[in-house]
Amino acid sequence: MLKYSTKLLFLSLLMALAVPPAVFAQLRVITGKVTSSDDGTALSGASVTLKGTTNSTATDANGNFRLSDVPQSGGILVFSSIGFQTQEVPIGGQNTVNVSLSTDATELSEVVVTSLGIERSRKSLGFAVQSVGAKELTEVKQPNIVSALQGQVAGVQTRTQVVARAWGQGL
């Protein structure tokens, strides 16, 4: 009887150690690139979300993304970016998903990004909004963009900072 219970204990321990890797094997990583359908340029900062979850990421400067902990069973990825139409793409068995987003010109003029980085509709803000467009910046003949912004919007302070670094000087 003791020999049987020892074998049972050993088998139970072996199964307990084998189950966690099998559970973790059910998740995968999805990678891909988000571009503009107009000119094919990479979209940095686009949001990539697994629909129905809080699992999300943003694209890097080259439009690439990497979304971890995606179930093997698939799901739907939701791609969104300011000025572009939101797109939903079923994953299926793919590990790489590349998407081209179409521009949405009406949406671009309705979004305001506040100084805290919060995106809101212009109508929903409880305060006045000032904006500086490309036309205003090109009319002012200034040597750089910081100087061109100076004095254009009330309350905006512009600063120019020069940083000099020496490499290999033991600093």
Tokens of 108: 């671009």
Cα–Cα distance between 51 and 31 in angstroms, integer?
Answer: 16
Number of domains the chain contains: 2
**Are 73 and 144 in the same domain?**
no
86 and 48 in contact (C-beta within 8 Å)? no
- CATH number of the domain within which 80 lies: 2.60.40.1120
What's the pLDDT band for 171 if we cut at 50, 70, 90?
very low
**Are 74 and 37 in the same domain?**
yes
Q: Which tens digits make up the pLDDT trace of 122-158?
A: 555 655 666 677 777 666 666 666 666 666 776 666 6
Sign of CA dihedral 106, 82, 91, 70: negative
**Are 86 and 149 in the same domain?**
no
pTM above 0.85, yes or no: no
Domain residues for the domain of 49 are 2-101
**Are 146 and 64 in the same domain?**
no
